[in-house]
Homo-oligomer: A and B are copies of this chain.
Amino acid sequence: MLLRVRAAVAQLAAGLGAQPPAEARGAGAGAGAGAGRGSPPPAAFCRPAFLQLTPEELRRADDHAGRAVQSPRDGRRRLPWSSGYAEVINAGKSQHNEDQACCEVVFVEQRPSPRGWLSSREGSEELDGGRKGFYFHYWALFDGHAGSGAAVMASERLHLHICEQLRDLVEILQDPSPPPVCLPREAQTGSADPNQMSYAEDRGEVLNDAVPRFHLEKAVSHESLVIGAIENAFKHMDDQIERERASQHLAGGCCALAAIYLMGKFYVANAGDSRAIIIRNGEIIPMSREFTPETERQRLQFLALLRPELLGKEFTHLEFPRRIQPKELGKKMLYRDQNMNGWAYKKIEEDDLKFPLIFGEGKKARMMATIGVTRGLGDHDLKVFSSNIHIKPFLSCFPEVRVYDLTQYEHCPDDVLVLGTDGLWDVTNDEEVAAVVMEVLTSYEPNDPCRYTMVAQELVVRSRGVLKERGWRLANDKLGSGHCPAVG
Protein backbone atom coordinates (compact mmCIF):
# COMPACT_ATOMS: atom_id res chain seq x y z
CA MET A 1 0.00 0.00 0.00
CA LEU A 2 1.32 3.40 -0.87
CA LEU A 3 0.73 5.37 2.29
CA ARG A 4 2.04 8.87 2.63
CA VAL A 5 5.71 8.21 2.93
CA ARG A 6 6.67 9.80 6.15
CA ALA A 7 3.78 8.31 8.03
CA ALA A 8 4.56 4.87 6.71
CA VAL A 9 8.22 5.06 7.44
CA ALA A 10 7.72 6.46 10.90
CA GLN A 11 5.26 3.75 11.82
CA LEU A 12 7.62 1.17 10.47
CA ALA A 13 10.70 2.45 12.27
CA ALA A 14 8.81 2.31 15.56
CA GLY A 15 7.79 -1.25 14.93
CA LEU A 16 11.30 -2.29 14.03
CA GLY A 17 12.75 -1.25 17.34
CA ALA A 18 10.52 -3.64 19.17
CA GLN A 19 10.61 -6.61 16.83
CA PRO A 20 13.55 -6.70 14.44
CA PRO A 21 13.17 -9.28 11.64
CA ALA A 22 15.88 -11.75 12.56
CA GLU A 23 17.15 -12.53 9.09
CA ALA A 24 17.20 -8.93 8.01
CA ARG A 25 19.20 -7.96 11.05
CA GLY A 26 21.82 -10.45 10.06
CA ALA A 27 22.05 -8.97 6.62
CA GLY A 28 23.69 -5.70 7.46
CA ALA A 29 26.20 -7.17 9.84
CA GLY A 30 27.38 -10.33 8.23
CA ALA A 31 25.78 -11.09 4.90
CA GLY A 32 28.32 -8.96 3.10
CA ALA A 33 30.92 -10.85 1.19
CA GLY A 34 29.64 -14.29 2.05
CA ALA A 35 25.95 -14.01 1.20
CA GLY A 36 24.73 -17.55 1.04
CA ARG A 37 27.83 -19.28 2.25
CA GLY A 38 27.28 -21.98 4.77
CA SER A 39 23.51 -22.00 4.39
CA PRO A 40 21.92 -25.45 4.44
CA PRO A 41 21.00 -26.99 1.09
CA PRO A 42 17.48 -25.86 0.18
CA ALA A 43 14.72 -28.39 0.54
CA ALA A 44 13.03 -29.78 -2.56
CA PHE A 45 9.84 -28.02 -1.63
CA CYS A 46 9.29 -25.07 0.67
CA ARG A 47 7.12 -22.01 0.90
CA PRO A 48 8.02 -18.42 1.83
CA ALA A 49 9.13 -18.12 5.44
CA PHE A 50 6.63 -15.36 6.19
CA LEU A 51 3.76 -17.81 5.60
CA GLN A 52 5.04 -19.78 8.63
CA LEU A 53 3.25 -22.94 7.54
CA THR A 54 3.09 -25.96 9.87
CA PRO A 55 4.19 -29.32 8.34
CA GLU A 56 0.53 -30.23 7.85
CA GLU A 57 -0.20 -26.90 6.14
CA LEU A 58 2.87 -27.34 3.96
CA ARG A 59 1.52 -30.69 2.75
CA ARG A 60 -1.84 -29.10 2.01
CA ALA A 61 -0.20 -26.24 0.06
CA ASP A 62 1.45 -28.88 -2.14
CA ASP A 63 -1.85 -30.61 -2.99
CA HIS A 64 -2.75 -30.26 -6.65
CA ALA A 65 -6.31 -31.51 -6.10
CA GLY A 66 -7.33 -29.00 -3.45
CA ARG A 67 -5.21 -26.05 -4.58
CA ALA A 68 -5.75 -24.21 -1.33
CA VAL A 69 -4.88 -20.52 -1.45
CA GLN A 70 -2.12 -19.64 1.04
CA SER A 71 -1.79 -16.31 2.81
CA PRO A 72 -0.08 -15.01 5.93
CA ARG A 73 -2.59 -14.92 8.79
CA ASP A 74 -3.22 -12.47 11.55
CA GLY A 75 -1.43 -13.09 14.79
CA ARG A 76 1.56 -14.50 12.98
CA ARG A 77 4.36 -12.41 11.68
CA ARG A 78 2.98 -9.30 10.02
CA LEU A 79 4.34 -8.25 6.64
CA PRO A 80 5.97 -4.80 6.58
CA TRP A 81 3.78 -1.87 5.63
CA SER A 82 0.25 -2.97 4.85
CA SER A 83 1.24 -5.78 2.53
CA GLY A 84 -1.01 -8.57 1.41
CA TYR A 85 0.06 -11.85 -0.13
CA ALA A 86 -1.57 -14.95 -1.56
CA GLU A 87 -0.41 -17.90 -3.61
CA VAL A 88 -1.68 -21.15 -5.01
CA ILE A 89 0.10 -24.13 -6.49
CA ASN A 90 -0.04 -24.40 -10.26
CA ALA A 91 -2.46 -26.89 -11.78
CA GLY A 92 -0.12 -29.74 -12.58
CA LYS A 93 2.58 -27.88 -14.49
CA SER A 94 5.20 -29.20 -12.07
CA GLN A 95 5.05 -31.59 -9.13
CA HIS A 96 5.78 -28.90 -6.57
CA ASN A 97 5.24 -25.17 -6.58
CA GLU A 98 8.45 -23.83 -8.08
CA ASP A 99 7.59 -20.21 -7.33
CA GLN A 100 8.89 -18.35 -4.31
CA ALA A 101 8.40 -15.01 -2.63
CA CYS A 102 10.24 -12.89 -0.12
CA CYS A 103 9.37 -9.90 2.01
CA GLU A 104 11.96 -8.30 4.25
CA VAL A 105 13.07 -5.14 5.99
CA VAL A 106 16.83 -4.96 5.56
CA PHE A 107 19.31 -2.82 7.45
CA VAL A 108 22.20 -1.65 5.31
CA GLU A 109 25.16 -1.06 7.57
CA GLN A 110 27.98 1.10 6.32
CA ARG A 111 31.03 -1.00 5.56
CA PRO A 112 33.71 -0.47 8.19
CA SER A 113 36.51 1.62 6.73
CA PRO A 114 39.49 3.20 8.45
CA ARG A 115 38.86 6.39 6.51
CA GLY A 116 35.52 6.76 4.85
CA TRP A 117 35.53 9.62 2.42
CA LEU A 118 32.87 11.41 4.38
CA SER A 119 33.70 10.10 7.82
CA SER A 120 34.27 13.48 9.39
CA ARG A 121 31.24 15.14 7.83
CA GLU A 122 27.99 15.80 9.55
CA GLY A 123 24.78 14.32 8.27
CA SER A 124 25.26 10.58 8.21
CA GLU A 125 22.81 9.15 10.69
CA GLU A 126 23.94 6.93 13.47
CA LEU A 127 21.35 4.26 14.13
CA ASP A 128 21.20 1.32 16.49
CA GLY A 129 23.91 2.16 18.93
CA GLY A 130 26.50 3.66 16.69
CA ARG A 131 25.98 1.58 13.54
CA LYS A 132 25.67 3.88 10.55
CA GLY A 133 23.19 2.86 7.89
CA PHE A 134 19.62 2.87 6.66
CA TYR A 135 16.74 0.47 6.09
CA PHE A 136 15.14 -0.62 2.87
CA HIS A 137 11.89 -2.53 2.41
CA TYR A 138 11.78 -5.37 -0.03
CA TRP A 139 9.09 -7.46 -1.71
CA ALA A 140 9.95 -10.00 -4.40
CA LEU A 141 8.45 -12.80 -6.47
CA PHE A 142 10.46 -15.57 -8.13
CA ASP A 143 8.71 -17.55 -10.84
CA GLY A 144 10.67 -20.79 -11.05
CA HIS A 145 10.96 -23.25 -13.91
CA ALA A 146 12.68 -26.60 -14.49
CA GLY A 147 13.24 -27.03 -10.76
CA SER A 148 12.83 -24.92 -7.65
CA GLY A 149 16.50 -24.52 -6.65
CA ALA A 150 17.25 -21.20 -8.31
CA ALA A 151 13.99 -19.64 -7.10
CA VAL A 152 14.56 -20.82 -3.53
CA MET A 153 18.12 -19.51 -3.39
CA ALA A 154 17.15 -16.22 -5.04
CA SER A 155 14.30 -15.74 -2.54
CA GLU A 156 16.73 -16.30 0.31
CA ARG A 157 19.61 -14.23 -1.00
CA LEU A 158 18.75 -11.53 -3.55
CA HIS A 159 17.96 -8.92 -0.88
CA LEU A 160 21.28 -9.66 0.79
CA HIS A 161 23.11 -8.99 -2.47
CA ILE A 162 21.21 -5.72 -2.83
CA CYS A 163 22.19 -4.87 0.73
CA GLU A 164 25.80 -5.73 -0.04
CA GLN A 165 25.86 -3.44 -3.08
CA LEU A 166 24.37 -0.59 -1.06
CA ARG A 167 26.83 -0.84 1.82
CA ASP A 168 29.46 1.24 0.03
CA LEU A 169 26.86 3.92 -0.67
CA VAL A 170 25.57 4.54 2.86
CA GLU A 171 27.32 7.86 3.34
CA ILE A 172 26.96 8.95 -0.26
CA LEU A 173 23.19 8.37 -0.37
CA GLN A 174 22.68 10.23 2.89
CA ASP A 175 24.65 13.26 1.72
CA PRO A 176 22.47 15.67 -0.28
CA SER A 177 25.39 16.87 -2.45
CA PRO A 178 25.96 15.06 -5.78
CA PRO A 179 27.74 11.71 -5.53
CA PRO A 180 31.52 11.96 -6.00
CA VAL A 181 32.61 10.82 -9.45
CA CYS A 182 35.79 9.29 -8.03
CA LEU A 183 36.49 7.75 -4.62
CA PRO A 184 39.88 7.52 -2.93
CA ARG A 185 41.94 4.37 -2.97
CA GLU A 186 40.81 1.82 -0.46
CA ALA A 187 42.91 1.42 2.64
CA GLN A 188 45.41 -1.37 2.29
CA THR A 189 44.94 -4.29 4.60
CA GLY A 190 48.00 -4.81 6.76
CA SER A 191 50.68 -2.14 6.93
CA ALA A 192 50.27 1.07 4.99
CA ASP A 193 52.00 1.38 1.65
CA PRO A 194 54.49 4.24 1.92
CA ASN A 195 54.21 4.88 -1.82
CA GLN A 196 50.56 5.78 -1.51
CA MET A 197 49.45 9.35 -1.21
CA SER A 198 49.16 10.67 2.30
CA TYR A 199 45.77 10.75 3.95
CA ALA A 200 45.61 14.52 3.61
CA GLU A 201 46.47 14.51 -0.09
CA ASP A 202 43.97 11.82 -0.75
CA ARG A 203 41.14 13.47 1.11
CA GLY A 204 41.92 16.78 -0.52
CA GLU A 205 41.47 15.24 -3.94
CA VAL A 206 38.26 13.59 -2.99
CA LEU A 207 36.67 16.71 -1.65
CA ASN A 208 37.61 18.53 -4.82
CA ASP A 209 35.55 15.99 -6.70
CA ALA A 210 32.39 17.57 -5.36
CA VAL A 211 33.15 20.54 -7.63
CA PRO A 212 33.46 19.43 -11.27
CA ARG A 213 37.05 19.97 -12.32
CA PHE A 214 36.47 19.21 -15.96
CA HIS A 215 34.23 21.00 -18.35
CA LEU A 216 32.73 17.69 -19.44
CA GLU A 217 31.71 15.96 -16.27
CA LYS A 218 28.41 14.17 -16.20
CA ALA A 219 26.18 14.65 -13.17
CA VAL A 220 25.11 11.32 -11.69
CA SER A 221 22.09 11.23 -9.39
CA HIS A 222 21.68 9.34 -6.14
CA GLU A 223 18.80 7.51 -7.77
CA SER A 224 21.00 6.13 -10.54
CA LEU A 225 23.45 4.81 -7.94
CA VAL A 226 20.64 2.79 -6.36
CA ILE A 227 19.61 1.52 -9.81
CA GLY A 228 23.21 0.49 -10.50
CA ALA A 229 23.40 -1.26 -7.13
CA ILE A 230 20.25 -3.27 -7.86
CA GLU A 231 21.43 -4.16 -11.37
CA ASN A 232 24.76 -5.43 -10.07
CA ALA A 233 23.03 -7.29 -7.22
CA PHE A 234 21.10 -9.33 -9.79
CA LYS A 235 24.40 -10.15 -11.51
CA HIS A 236 26.02 -11.22 -8.23
CA MET A 237 22.95 -13.31 -7.39
CA ASP A 238 23.22 -15.05 -10.73
CA ASP A 239 26.95 -15.60 -10.24
CA GLN A 240 26.30 -17.16 -6.84
CA ILE A 241 23.75 -19.57 -8.30
CA GLU A 242 26.30 -20.50 -10.96
CA ARG A 243 29.05 -21.07 -8.39
CA GLU A 244 26.96 -23.08 -5.96
CA ARG A 245 24.60 -24.95 -8.25
CA ALA A 246 26.60 -28.16 -8.04
CA SER A 247 27.29 -28.17 -4.31
CA GLN A 248 23.79 -26.99 -3.41
CA HIS A 249 21.99 -29.16 -5.99
CA LEU A 250 20.28 -26.10 -7.47
CA ALA A 251 18.15 -26.93 -10.48
CA GLY A 252 16.36 -24.65 -12.89
CA GLY A 253 15.98 -20.92 -13.19
CA CYS A 254 13.51 -18.21 -12.27
CA CYS A 255 12.12 -14.88 -13.30
CA ALA A 256 12.67 -12.27 -10.62
CA LEU A 257 10.53 -9.24 -9.80
CA ALA A 258 11.57 -7.14 -6.82
CA ALA A 259 10.25 -3.89 -5.34
CA ILE A 260 12.62 -1.97 -3.10
CA TYR A 261 11.48 1.01 -1.05
CA LEU A 262 14.38 3.26 -0.17
CA MET A 263 14.47 6.91 0.89
CA GLY A 264 11.07 7.88 -0.45
CA LYS A 265 11.23 5.98 -3.71
CA PHE A 266 10.11 2.61 -5.04
CA TYR A 267 12.63 0.84 -7.25
CA VAL A 268 10.92 -1.96 -9.18
CA ALA A 269 13.41 -4.35 -10.78
CA ASN A 270 12.20 -6.92 -13.27
CA ALA A 271 13.99 -9.75 -15.06
CA GLY A 272 11.46 -11.98 -16.83
CA ASP A 273 7.75 -11.97 -17.54
CA SER A 274 6.32 -11.11 -14.13
CA ARG A 275 4.72 -7.68 -13.92
CA ALA A 276 4.15 -4.85 -11.47
CA ILE A 277 1.62 -2.04 -11.63
CA ILE A 278 0.72 0.81 -9.34
CA ILE A 279 -2.97 1.62 -9.03
CA ARG A 280 -3.32 5.22 -7.91
CA ASN A 281 -6.71 6.81 -7.63
CA GLY A 282 -8.00 4.25 -10.15
CA GLU A 283 -5.24 5.08 -12.65
CA ILE A 284 -2.87 2.30 -13.74
CA ILE A 285 0.87 3.02 -13.85
CA PRO A 286 2.97 0.18 -15.33
CA MET A 287 6.10 -0.38 -13.26
CA SER A 288 7.72 -3.07 -15.37
CA ARG A 289 8.17 -4.38 -18.89
CA GLU A 290 8.17 -8.07 -19.82
CA PHE A 291 11.27 -9.66 -21.30
CA THR A 292 10.29 -12.36 -23.76
CA PRO A 293 11.60 -13.66 -27.11
CA GLU A 294 9.22 -11.20 -28.78
CA THR A 295 10.09 -8.08 -26.79
CA GLU A 296 13.84 -8.81 -26.91
CA ARG A 297 14.02 -10.18 -30.44
CA GLN A 298 16.40 -7.56 -31.79
CA ARG A 299 18.88 -7.85 -28.91
CA LEU A 300 18.93 -11.64 -29.32
CA GLN A 301 19.28 -11.50 -33.11
CA PHE A 302 22.07 -8.95 -32.80
CA LEU A 303 24.00 -11.19 -30.38
CA ALA A 304 23.42 -14.21 -32.63
CA LEU A 305 24.68 -12.31 -35.67
CA LEU A 306 27.85 -11.19 -33.91
CA ARG A 307 28.46 -14.52 -32.18
CA PRO A 308 27.18 -17.16 -34.62
CA GLU A 309 29.17 -19.87 -32.84
CA LEU A 310 26.66 -19.63 -29.97
CA LEU A 311 24.01 -21.07 -32.32
CA GLY A 312 25.90 -24.30 -32.92
CA LYS A 313 24.89 -24.51 -36.60
CA GLU A 314 21.35 -25.38 -35.50
CA PHE A 315 19.74 -21.96 -35.58
CA THR A 316 19.51 -18.96 -37.88
CA HIS A 317 19.42 -15.46 -36.44
CA LEU A 318 16.69 -14.53 -38.94
CA GLU A 319 13.05 -14.74 -37.97
CA PHE A 320 10.54 -16.45 -40.29
CA PRO A 321 6.77 -16.72 -39.75
CA ARG A 322 7.03 -20.52 -39.85
CA ARG A 323 9.51 -23.36 -40.46
CA ILE A 324 10.74 -23.56 -44.03
CA GLN A 325 10.59 -26.87 -45.87
CA PRO A 326 13.62 -27.99 -47.89
CA LYS A 327 11.50 -28.12 -51.05
CA GLU A 328 10.84 -24.38 -50.69
CA LEU A 329 14.48 -23.49 -51.43
CA GLY A 330 14.61 -20.69 -53.97
CA LYS A 331 11.16 -19.36 -53.19
CA LYS A 332 10.64 -16.05 -51.46
CA MET A 333 9.71 -16.08 -47.78
CA LEU A 334 8.87 -13.36 -45.28
CA TYR A 335 11.71 -12.67 -42.80
CA ARG A 336 13.10 -10.03 -40.51
CA ASP A 337 16.56 -9.47 -39.09
CA GLN A 338 18.05 -7.61 -36.10
CA ASN A 339 17.57 -4.21 -37.78
CA MET A 340 13.94 -4.62 -38.85
CA ASN A 341 10.62 -4.16 -37.17
CA GLY A 342 8.74 -4.78 -40.40
CA TRP A 343 8.82 -7.83 -42.65
CA ALA A 344 10.14 -8.33 -46.15
CA TYR A 345 10.57 -11.19 -48.63
CA LYS A 346 13.89 -12.88 -49.20
CA LYS A 347 14.91 -15.76 -51.45
CA ILE A 348 15.24 -18.90 -49.34
CA GLU A 349 18.79 -20.20 -49.11
CA GLU A 350 20.26 -23.31 -47.53
CA ASP A 351 21.11 -21.46 -44.31
CA ASP A 352 17.49 -20.38 -43.84
CA LEU A 353 16.43 -24.00 -43.34
CA LYS A 354 17.92 -23.89 -39.83
CA PHE A 355 15.50 -23.36 -36.98
CA PRO A 356 14.83 -19.66 -36.26
CA LEU A 357 16.38 -18.29 -33.04
CA ILE A 358 13.02 -16.75 -32.18
CA PHE A 359 9.94 -18.74 -33.05
CA GLY A 360 6.24 -18.66 -32.23
CA GLU A 361 3.87 -15.97 -31.04
CA GLY A 362 2.65 -14.58 -27.75
CA LYS A 363 2.82 -17.06 -24.88
CA LYS A 364 4.10 -19.70 -27.32
CA ALA A 365 7.09 -17.65 -28.47
CA ARG A 366 10.32 -19.47 -27.68
CA MET A 367 14.00 -18.67 -27.84
CA MET A 368 15.97 -21.54 -29.41
CA ALA A 369 12.80 -23.61 -29.22
CA THR A 370 13.47 -23.89 -25.49
CA ILE A 371 12.43 -21.02 -23.24
CA GLY A 372 9.71 -18.38 -23.23
CA VAL A 373 11.52 -15.74 -21.14
CA THR A 374 14.77 -13.96 -21.95
CA ARG A 375 15.79 -12.57 -18.56
CA GLY A 376 16.08 -14.27 -15.22
CA LEU A 377 18.34 -15.93 -12.68
CA GLY A 378 19.86 -19.41 -12.89
CA ASP A 379 19.51 -21.76 -15.89
CA HIS A 380 23.28 -22.11 -16.18
CA ASP A 381 22.93 -25.76 -17.26
CA LEU A 382 19.97 -25.22 -19.58
CA LYS A 383 20.68 -26.42 -23.11
CA VAL A 384 18.71 -26.83 -26.30
CA PHE A 385 17.11 -30.31 -26.26
CA SER A 386 19.57 -33.06 -27.19
CA SER A 387 22.33 -30.62 -28.06
CA ASN A 388 25.27 -28.89 -26.42
CA ILE A 389 23.96 -25.39 -27.17
CA HIS A 390 23.67 -23.25 -24.05
CA ILE A 391 20.75 -20.86 -23.55
CA LYS A 392 22.56 -18.70 -21.02
CA PRO A 393 24.46 -16.20 -23.10
CA PHE A 394 21.13 -15.16 -24.64
CA LEU A 395 19.27 -15.32 -21.35
CA SER A 396 20.33 -12.20 -19.43
CA CYS A 397 20.23 -11.84 -15.64
CA PHE A 398 20.01 -8.05 -15.72
CA PRO A 399 16.75 -6.40 -14.64
CA GLU A 400 15.18 -3.23 -15.86
CA VAL A 401 14.66 -0.91 -12.90
CA ARG A 402 11.83 1.63 -12.84
CA VAL A 403 11.53 4.31 -10.20
CA TYR A 404 8.43 5.72 -8.59
CA ASP A 405 8.81 8.73 -6.30
CA LEU A 406 6.28 8.42 -3.47
CA THR A 407 6.88 11.97 -2.31
CA GLN A 408 5.50 13.47 -5.52
CA TYR A 409 1.88 12.56 -4.76
CA GLU A 410 -0.50 12.39 -1.86
CA HIS A 411 -1.47 8.73 -1.65
CA CYS A 412 -4.56 7.28 -0.01
CA PRO A 413 -5.03 3.82 1.56
CA ASP A 414 -6.62 2.52 -1.66
CA ASP A 415 -3.48 3.18 -3.71
CA VAL A 416 -1.57 -0.06 -4.15
CA LEU A 417 1.43 -1.65 -5.85
CA VAL A 418 0.53 -5.06 -7.31
CA LEU A 419 3.24 -7.61 -8.09
CA GLY A 420 2.21 -10.74 -9.97
CA THR A 421 3.77 -13.58 -11.91
CA ASP A 422 2.48 -14.44 -15.38
CA GLY A 423 -0.01 -16.80 -13.71
CA LEU A 424 -1.97 -13.72 -12.71
CA TRP A 425 -1.44 -11.57 -15.80
CA ASP A 426 -2.10 -14.33 -18.33
CA VAL A 427 -5.72 -14.50 -17.26
CA THR A 428 -6.38 -11.07 -15.68
CA ASN A 429 -5.54 -7.77 -17.33
CA ASP A 430 -4.62 -4.48 -15.66
CA GLU A 431 -8.15 -3.12 -15.68
CA GLU A 432 -9.62 -6.29 -14.21
CA VAL A 433 -7.00 -6.28 -11.47
CA ALA A 434 -7.77 -2.64 -10.70
CA ALA A 435 -11.51 -3.46 -10.54
CA VAL A 436 -10.90 -6.36 -8.11
CA VAL A 437 -8.65 -4.17 -5.97
CA MET A 438 -11.27 -1.45 -5.73
CA GLU A 439 -14.11 -3.91 -5.12
CA VAL A 440 -12.35 -5.72 -2.28
CA LEU A 441 -10.84 -2.65 -0.62
CA THR A 442 -14.18 -0.86 -0.40
CA SER A 443 -15.67 -3.78 1.54
CA TYR A 444 -13.11 -3.38 4.37
CA GLU A 445 -12.35 -0.46 6.66
CA PRO A 446 -9.38 1.61 5.42
CA ASN A 447 -7.43 0.81 8.58
CA ASP A 448 -8.11 -2.93 8.54
CA PRO A 449 -4.67 -4.51 7.98
CA CYS A 450 -6.28 -7.65 6.45
CA ARG A 451 -7.73 -5.86 3.45
CA TYR A 452 -4.59 -6.15 1.32
CA THR A 453 -4.28 -9.89 1.86
CA MET A 454 -7.98 -10.16 0.98
CA VAL A 455 -7.22 -8.42 -2.32
CA ALA A 456 -4.35 -10.81 -3.01
CA GLN A 457 -6.54 -13.80 -2.20
CA GLU A 458 -9.33 -12.62 -4.45
CA LEU A 459 -6.89 -12.10 -7.32
CA VAL A 460 -5.46 -15.58 -6.83
CA VAL A 461 -8.86 -17.24 -6.51
CA ARG A 462 -10.05 -15.61 -9.72
CA SER A 463 -6.87 -16.63 -11.55
CA ARG A 464 -7.10 -20.19 -10.26
CA GLY A 465 -10.76 -20.63 -11.10
CA VAL A 466 -12.98 -23.43 -9.80
CA LEU A 467 -12.44 -27.18 -10.22
CA LYS A 468 -14.89 -28.52 -12.79
CA GLU A 469 -15.02 -31.79 -14.66
CA ARG A 470 -12.55 -30.58 -17.24
CA GLY A 471 -10.07 -29.15 -14.76
CA TRP A 472 -9.71 -25.73 -13.16
CA ARG A 473 -11.84 -23.18 -14.98
CA LEU A 474 -12.22 -19.43 -14.71
CA ALA A 475 -15.56 -17.65 -14.52
CA ASN A 476 -15.44 -17.39 -18.32
CA ASP A 477 -14.72 -21.15 -18.49
CA LYS A 478 -11.16 -20.57 -19.67
CA LEU A 479 -8.42 -22.59 -18.02
CA GLY A 480 -7.33 -21.19 -14.67
CA SER A 481 -3.70 -20.72 -13.73
CA GLY A 482 -1.40 -20.90 -10.76
CA HIS A 483 1.43 -18.81 -9.36
CA CYS A 484 1.45 -16.21 -6.66
CA PRO A 485 0.57 -12.56 -6.84
CA ALA A 486 1.35 -10.20 -4.01
CA VAL A 487 -0.19 -6.88 -3.16
CA GLY A 488 1.91 -4.31 -1.33
Give residues in A with beta carbon < 8 Å to B: 165, 168, 179, 181-186, 212, 214, 216-220, 223-232, 235, 299, 302-303, 306-307, 321-324, 328, 330-334, 336, 339-345, 359-361, 364, 396, 398, 400-401
Contacts and interface: CB of A to CB of B under 8 A. Distances in A.
Contacts of A401: 341-342
Contacts of A181: 321-322, 333-334
A178 B173 CA distance: 56
Given A185-B330, A364-B216, A231 B341 contact: yes
8 contacts: A165-B344, A168-B345, A179-B334, A181-B334, A182-B332, A216-B322, A220-B321, A226-B342
A227 B343 CA distance: 7
Contact of A339 (B182, B223, B345, B396): B396
A219 B185 CA distance: 58
B342 A229 contact: yes
A256 to B, nearest CB: 15
A265 B343 CA distance: 17
A307 B302 CA distance: 12
Contacts of A226: 342
Contact of A334 (B220, B306, B336, B339): B220
A343 B231 CA distance: 9
Query: What is the count of identical protomers in the complex?
Result: 2
A164 to B, nearest CB: 12
A328 B231 contact: no
Given A179-B343, A183-B333, A231-B341, 13 more contacts: A168-B345, A181-B321, A182-B324, A182-B334, A185-B332, A218-B361, A220-B334, A224-B342, A224-B343, A226-B342, A231-B342, A302-B303, A339-B398
Contacts of A398: 339-340
Contacts of A342: 223-231, 401
Contact of A344 (B184, B229, B333, B396): B229
A186 B346 CA distance: 12
A445 to B, nearest CB: 40
Contacts of A306: 303, 306-307
Contacts of A227: 340-343
Nearest to A333: B182
B216 A361 contact: yes
A385 B212 CA distance: 27
Contacts of A360: 216, 218
Contacts of A345: 168, 183
A299 B306 CA distance: 13
Contacts of A303: 302, 306
Nearest to A396: B339
5 shortest interchain CB distances as A-B pairs: A227-B342, A228-B342, A228-B344, A218-B321, A183-B332
A93 to B, nearest CB: 21
Contacts of A232: 340, 344
Nearest to A344: B228
A325 to B, nearest CB: 9
Contacts of A340: 227-228, 231-232, 398
A396 B342 CA distance: 17
Contacts of A217: 321-322
A224 B332 contact: no
